Structure 1
């Protein structure tokens, strides 16, 4: 058996078929295409005709058309890249190509001769790169590479031309071999003999024996043993059949003969081999589930990223220009705007909410300086965070006499600072103080306890005392404007909630009733669950039904949206089971981080919001507010895309496309000063934040800065631009949003490097936009803000600087000067039309603001 990931399927109009695969079983075949095999990982046995070879990592072999070859795994796992080329593609211009037999085997040559093969490896990598990017006209590019590859083979490798007569004999032999193999496969469970086949083919036994040996590279008995052993190994590892049962099913005459051949081949008895690879003879339900999991697991789950990283390493000796994502032709668009268009009212819903990691982080001076500056630049209304009751806030205390003593000092310090910078708390009620926990399960480096309270009254009393204290300090009128969200991601059982959904529903009910007992005007909601559970299960619907049936107040619905899902639900369940069994929490955090992530398409945020609104309208009579209390371009802290210009375009595109679908969309998080895991070492380690740990504003921050300058009415909006108006001033924002390429979407991160972070995106051209704004009259100040990799991308400036770590104050000051859009200003008298032209590169944005002045 071989597991295969096809990069492209061969089509009549396309000359190639490219894929990576992993060989697990014996396989003999041939085909009309020329095939180039490159070992990316491990090793594999291959036999071509009568010759047998061991191919190891980096080894390359060309298999000519209609050459019979078989492959078999070694003790190592393997990943191979295969490129199959249809010779008919060249036939018009080079007819003799169909008769050529090349001698191209890298492993038969020393290091000094590998440059010839490196060029071939480079062509293979270049083909995959172009297939992945799918630039306009990529089929032509690949076609040209395939021609160059063929020309290189002809010029640099030995070959012979097959005569017509010999080719006819070969074709006839291929037909006969195919018939022989089909007969053997159809009669494998019987005691098929050479005489049976000879009779079937009307040949003598002597002729048939030599024919098989000459054309298949092995004797009849050797081939029969191979395919019987191959079937036996498959049954051994993928079924619960006994050794006797599977030996007879595989066609062996006795268990004794099977055992002897198996041990001679694998150095283990069948029983030892089964135990070594995982015993599946138990018929229990658990083992059946484990069997299904094993059957579904392929090399794609774990090793493909490393394989592509290896493949793309071959680009360097050939052509670094292949990595240039901006080589496409420029796209152009014309926009005509009449400012007399009344337009639609626009409320910047995205300013409703921002977020940070945990409450105690907000007590730090550097953190407070960053929030203060962001409020001055942009001005968010609310801020959400974890851990208001966690141990490091020291809220819950027991004195020497066993009495509960609440300490609100750190809460007051944090909330007082919020008031000072004009932002309100969006309070996530969690996690559990150690004094009232029911168990020791924790998440994050800072050990947030995720268990339920040992007594619900201890929890509800804590919540009520917290609310009372806030009211006494800040006043009823103020606290009634806040939001109170019950817990965080309870759908991730044994990760953020020790219990099931029903236990959360009851916990939510008790918490809401405790808060509402103080004031019915206090706003409480939940369930703060992930997009994945919203898509895949009825969790949200069940929550709505519970609240409606039991008349539990629900003032707002909160969800989290990230663009990734986990590649394997089984792996997720494994981690949850480890958590349930009490495995170390920090190790579990590492396991979560190591899960391969598969990305949804670029409309994912929009799709989740549409689905959520549909469910709210279907199940709830009084429509509550909808708040997205966590949202980002990645759910992984440490994803290097988080620092790039891509996230700026991601933010702008999604915010503008989802106007009217949600009441807030809080980007997780505003700063890299956060410690879910240990603090990032590098300044640009892929942290979630809009701002780096030293206060450097990333492109994502500048996206919000540009959005904050839009007006209160939308007079025109379409794909990748918006025009707004405020009084007599006009604002126009144009952006160029490109999403991930196919490989990255499917979990491959091999092209994402610390110093090269833009190779994982689809290719798009720069966008030229011609603007005509009519209906203007007067004297205007025209300000242009340009945000792209050249202007405002501090991570690109840091890379160009040489990626310094542990930066000096001078280096940080230099980069702060680079973390701002380019600004151009001019003044014009305008009567009628304003015409302009902007060129926005991929991942870029440009804002033009026309402010009317008194002339």
Structure 2
């Protein structure tokens, strides 16, 4: 039977009234016509035409038609063949268009449509092409929707737990066919039986024996379905001491005997037979759907975009949400190099808000014996205000962790407890607020933001969690000074804590005090819950922030908990401080793209983070070290710096925004355009640790490296002469990382060599004159991969 196995099998659905059941293999459902309800465990999803849901292996599910004209497709994926390809048995997918948003769904939908279109071709060439499409479909699925990493993403938790869990999983996977015991594993990990037993139950949601039997069953079911071995041999070959023990464990999981399960699987064609043969009318419906989809989402030319605007039609105002950066520990501002580099950012980017934390640290502000001393804090705040910057104050204690990857830190978390007891905290906040208002005045602090994040110790997910007491202490104290002072929280992680937020918002809604704004972090990780354990993965969704904000706003609306402002106070595509993509042109294009996409969608976006000095540590002996700061420790400006600078030069009135550009005007014959050729990351990035990416191989982490032609047509402009100034940064011009490449990535550069890098890492400038006689101004641009560009178009007056 093994020779008959295929990585993917494709079926049509013409009715959907299937009783609750399990499958060893994952299934992807795609609705073409009508409506279908899918119940997975306790969750219910209503699928409409165009929707897709992937049901993971061994997940109980029930499908029922919600209309008489249901027509769809079902793609079955062979779990064990896929596991062999991926090199892991941890294959969970989160692919659900009803509950999720991701640009990759368009790619997946397009592939399924191509499979549908080719499915009726039964010749050898058609079958060959179908197999190619199946593999391409799996590539999109595994690149964008596969969950295969432990719950360690975007949190400041000790990673020792994740290491130990992997040790447990790896040991059981390697030895499940033998008679292993809890005692064997405890000896291997140098732990007591009692401690290990409780540890496994707490962290994996199962006892040792339950988890071991689950692994054994997973392999046994494969043999049950795809071999002719008898039940006893299957039991013994997969570690069960007897066939009776196998049957009991199987019944506990599948609610029937192994022999019954095998017989049903052999007869399952009864369920899917009706999906194999379509009537001529149903086949016609498939073709009509494909024509509708082709018309609805006709793709633009791959390497060409046309942007036409009427300069008399203003679409929206340019948001000021991008005028913010997160710096980190407040007292780093006492360093002269931090001050000078931050002033540089403020001057070029117009940044208004600087987000800082740990103001109330024991080292710099408060001592239980000595009391309060706000002198150093005053120096920090005075510097910001004197340099036209506003404080965004995170009043909690955030650990300083420099990250190689989400699982591995450069610097360990401080052992000194950072959270004060509530009574001490109340006294500190009272003293702090009185000091601030008396020193800076009510009018000034009404322009600041005060935030308090949800440190894990404060248990925000509990109805009586300590977080709410601490937050309400800050809120009440500041509101007594002025109701106009803005107080919010709690630093939730987009894409990772969505399910938690559903519960938290309900808890917070019941309380008397609500935040003025909700704050979120975004680091392009997503999570799913499986058997009580949360799993996380990187996301390469090129519209991740926009999609996750939309999802979160929907959660807020459903909860009836919508505070006044929506803040993203830390954002980047990675939490790593050692990811060389942070130094590259890709980062500049990523930042520019997201600021354009998010204009008007949120109230505040503070990029994470301002300076490489944040993570200057013992391992930073290179000129560029993969930190996400916009200026290197040696003062070299990166492409990310110029992305923020380009945004600052845009004008107030937005004429148009599209996938690659934003066109603005002052309504006085001047036009400024920012554009980019951002390239999405590939699956290689998903499955590579951030600190293992090599500078020499950066192009291999992009889906493609094609240039793009952007044609701008401005209608109804004043006739006459225009001067066009073009500023751009790409791999050949202005990129510090690529200039350093020409120096063979040499470490320990001399002062004059560093100065050369500084002076060379600047945008290239071109100028051209355009004469307009018919009210139409046209400009053609060719942008290299990951290039960012600014066009400043000025009317030239003549007497």
Superposed pair shares fold, TM > 0.5 = yes
1:657 aligns with 2:600: no
Aligned residues of 1:710 and 1:731 also touching (Cα < 8 A): yes
In structure 2, the CA distance between the partners of 1:718 and 1:90, relative to structure 1 (3 Å rule), is closer
Offset at 1:615? 3.3
Counterpart residue number, 2:389: 423
1:459 aligns with 2:425: yes
Distance in 1, matches of 2:396 and 2:584, equals 32
In structure 2, the CA distance between the partners of 1:449 and 1:619, relative to structure 1 (3 Å rule), is farther
- Pick the aligned partner of 1:694 from 634, 649, 652: 634
Distance in 1, matches of 2:526 and 2:468, equals 25
Counterpart residue number, 1:334: 306
Offset at 1:368? 0.6
Comparing 338-347 with 708-717, greater Cα deviation is found at 338-347
Runs of 5+ in structure 2 lacking a partner?
12-80, 88-123, 129-134, 142-168, 187-192, 217-300, 400-408
Counterpart residue number, 1:551: 512
CA shift digits 1:321-379 (9 cap, x unpaired): xxxxxxxx97123332332223322223211x211121121111111111111111111
Offset at 1:836? 2.2
In structure 2, the CA distance between the partners of 1:627 and 1:677, relative to structure 1 (3 Å rule), is farther
Counterpart residue number, 2:264: none
Runs of 5+ in structure 1 lacking a partner?
13-34, 42-87, 93-127, 135-233, 239-265, 299-328, 434-441, 574-594
Matches within 5 A, 1:357-372: 357-372=328-343
Counterpart residue number, 1:478: 444
Counterpart residue number, 1:821: 763
In structure 2, the CA distance between the partners of 1:609 and 1:292, relative to structure 1 (3 Å rule), is farther
Counterpart residue number, 1:794: 736
Aligned residues of 1:133 and 1:762 also touching (Cα < 8 A): no
Offset at 1:610? 1.1
- Pick the aligned partner of 2:781 from 817, 822, 838: 838
Distance in 2, matches of 1:448 and 1:477, equals 38
Aligned residues of 2:442 and 2:481 also touching (Cα < 8 A): no
Counterpart residue number, 2:356: 385
Aligned residues of 1:330 and 1:768 also touching (Cα < 8 A): no
- Where 2:627 maps in the other structure, the secondary structure is coil
Distance in 2, matches of 1:290 and 1:556, equals 44
Matches within 5 A, 1:525-564: 525-537=488-500, 539=501, 541-564=502-525
Aligned residues of 2:672 and 2:791 also touching (Cα < 8 A): yes
Counterpart residue number, 2:376: 410
- Where 1:817 maps in the other structure, the secondary structure is helix
- Where 2:760 maps in the other structure, the secondary structure is coil
Offset at 1:605? 0.7
Counterpart residue number, 2:648: 708
Aligned residues of 2:496 and 2:536 also touching (Cα < 8 A): no
- Where 1:461 maps in the other structure, the secondary structure is helix
Counterpart residue number, 2:721: 779
Higher relative contact order (CA 8 A, sep 6+): 2
Offset at 1:285? 5.0
Counterpart residue number, 1:288: 206
1:511 aligns with 2:492: no
In structure 2, the CA distance between the partners of 1:616 and 1:682, relative to structure 1 (3 Å rule), is same
Counterpart residue number, 1:347: 319
Distance in 2, matches of 1:268 and 1:292, equals 12
CA RMSD of aligned residues (A): 4.4
Distance in 1, matches of 2:588 and 2:520, equals 22
Counterpart residue number, 1:635: 575
- Where 2:547 maps in the other structure, the secondary structure is helix
Counterpart residue number, 2:345: 374
Offset at 1:769? 2.0
Counterpart residue number, 2:269: none
- Pick the aligned partner of 1:742 from 676, 680, 683: 683
Distance in 1, matches of 2:750 and 2:537, equals 35
In structure 2, the CA distance between the partners of 1:771 and 1:752, relative to structure 1 (3 Å rule), is same
Aligned residues of 1:445 and 1:677 also touching (Cα < 8 A): no
- Where 1:354 maps in the other structure, the secondary structure is strand
Distance in 2, matches of 1:790 and 1:268, equals 54
- Pick the aligned partner of 2:665 from 722, 725, 734: 725
- Where 2:633 maps in the other structure, the secondary structure is coil
CA shift digits 1:798-818 (9 cap, x unpaired): 122111223221121111123
- Where 2:338 maps in the other structure, the secondary structure is helix
Aligned residues of 1:358 and 1:387 also touching (Cα < 8 A): yes
Distance in 2, matches of 1:129 and 1:704, equals 37
Distance in 1, matches of 2:532 and 2:628, equals 24
Offset at 1:640? 1.9
CA shift digits 1:187-236 (9 cap, x unpaired): xxxxxxxxxxxxxxxxxxxxxxxxxxxxxxxxxxxxxxxxxxxxxxx9x9
Matches within 5 A, 1:57-76: none
Q: How many residues end up aligned between the 2 structures? A: 550
- Where 1:738 maps in the other structure, the secondary structure is coil
Larger Rg: 1
Distance in 1, matches of 2:307 and 2:618, equals 48
- Compute the TM-score of the two structures, normalised by the length of structure 1: 0.57
In structure 2, the CA distance between the partners of 1:756 and 1:465, relative to structure 1 (3 Å rule), is same
Offset at 1:783? 0.3
1:852 aligns with 2:795: yes
Aligned residues of 1:629 and 1:666 also touching (Cα < 8 A): yes
Counterpart residue number, 1:246: none
Distance in 1, matches of 2:566 and 2:177, equals 62
CA shift digits 1:449-476 (9 cap, x unpaired): 565423x121011112112112121111
CA shift digits 1:615-642 (9 cap, x unpaired): 3344457741111111111112212211
Aligned residues of 1:445 and 1:676 also touching (Cα < 8 A): no
CA shift digits 1:94-147 (9 cap, x unpaired): xxxxxxxxxxxxxxxxxxxxxxxxxxxxxxxxxx9999799xxxxxxxxxxxxx
- Where 1:674 maps in the other structure, the secondary structure is helix
Distance in 2, matches of 1:267 and 1:550, equals 51
Offset at 1:533? 4.5
Distance in 2, matches of 1:599 and 1:698, equals 24
Offset at 1:397? 2.5
Offset at 1:784? 0.4
- Compute the TM-score of the two structures, normalised by the length of structure 2: 0.61
- Where 1:288 maps in the other structure, the secondary structure is coil
CA shift digits 1:641-699 (9 cap, x unpaired): 11111111111222211222210111110111114976733232211211111111111
Counterpart residue number, 2:17: none
In structure 2, the CA distance between the partners of 1:569 and 1:516, relative to structure 1 (3 Å rule), is farther
- Where 1:763 maps in the other structure, the secondary structure is coil
